[in-house]
Amino acid sequence: MIRRTLLATLATALLAVVGCSKSEAPGGTGPGAPPPAPAGPVKLTGAGATFPYPLYSKWMDEYRKLKPGVQINYQSIGSGGGIRQVIAGTVDFGATDAPMNDEEAKKAPHKLFHLPMTLGAVAVVYNVAELKAPLKLTPDVLVDIYLGKITKWNDARLKALNEGAALPAADIRVVSRSDGSGTTAVFTDYLGTVSPEWKEKVGVGKSVKWPVGLSAKGNEGVSGSVSTTPGSIGYAELAYALQTGLSMAALKSVVGEFVTPSIEAVTAAAEGVELPDSLHVSIVNSAAPKAYPISSYTYLLVYEDMPDAAKAQALSEFLWWAIHDGQKLSGTLHYAPLPAKAIGKIEARLKELKSGGKSLLGSP
């Protein structure tokens, strides 16, 4: 019931967004380009991260209006599932918040590109009715809550950070993800970055063995659990936290500022870290002023050379649209648009996409 209610709320918000103007992708009509897509519908399927699901859903709805002959279906099953399905070839593209590791990359039958699509924040959400101002947390306190060392809301360390707040003498109920999750990878990347103890005892990745607490599936599952469990704390992508009206903690950054998640704070984190040629990078714990500490790129996984020419052409043109006109939809859905300096690198990578060895996108 919680999942259905949250998805219905997200769908309502998505439909309220005003569509953007049409933008054409490079046509791919030059020498050596594959034949144009047939007049009939081209059906593309993708699966993976729940983190960007609200934005991807909106993109696909808007793109269908521009290109009625292209039907794109995306299933938000978690980053781990998206990686497995694209490797298995059961989907045309995967989606993940965490880059594939070396072992995963070796399992892919052909070369997969990581393509950054947008940026978001992993919010630390909580359900403590007595708190009227945002909960303040330092990295060490957040780590110790998830390690099970801090178990009460009125713990002395929490009281020292939140002077004057009405912290109850209640148990802290920790909520985490049960599925293989890019959101978990980003969250644990942050915990491992700020705490050698966390990195050694628990580790970093899409799935970890949580020391304490309850688990729920998907961003919507964690958001729903926190919203219905008094005294709970969890982590969820910013869009889900806002749609469920959850309180979000202010985290102490590297430069000593307490920052709550926002588009501006995510943008600051991204601008403080150079995107390398691999097109994937961690931006957690950025030292840039005003940066939110748990920010992240999220990626689509696409094969460099795709066997079906019609699908390949349709997908490459959709991706070109997404990194240009699609970015105009990001802010309304609480995602940060790609930095301008990153878009140029992604454009160059998109022009490397092929079908049967033939280039798909010519010069714009």
Q: Tokens 């957040």 identify what position?
A: 142
Is the pLDDT score of 20 beyond 70? no
* pTM for the whole structure: 0.85
Is the pLDDT score of 1 beyond 90? no
Over the stretch 80-102, which tens digit does the pLDDT of each residue have? Answer: 999 999 999 999 999 999 999 99
In this prediction, residue 40 carries a pLDDT of 64
Closest CA to 115 of 101, 102, 103, 99: 99
pLDDT band (50, 70, 90) for residue 272 = confident
Residues 6+ away with beta carbon under 8 Å from 5: 224
Average pLDDT in the chain? 89
The neighbour count for residue 289, using CB atoms within 10 Å, is 12
pLDDT band (50, 70, 90) for residue 31 = very low
Distance CA(139)–CA(251), nearest Å, equals 7
Is the pLDDT score of 39 beyond 80? no
Is the pLDDT score of 14 beyond 50? no
Over the stretch 155-165, which tens digit does the pLDDT of each residue have? Answer: 999 999 999 99
In this prediction, residue 180 carries a pLDDT of 84
Over the stretch 101-134, which tens digit does the pLDDT of each residue have? Answer: 999 999 999 999 999 999 999 999 999 999 989 9
pLDDT band (50, 70, 90) for residue 27 = very low
Q: What is the DSSP string of 134-146?
A: PPEE-HHHHHHHH
Is the pLDDT score of 175 beyond 60? yes
Type of residue at 229: T
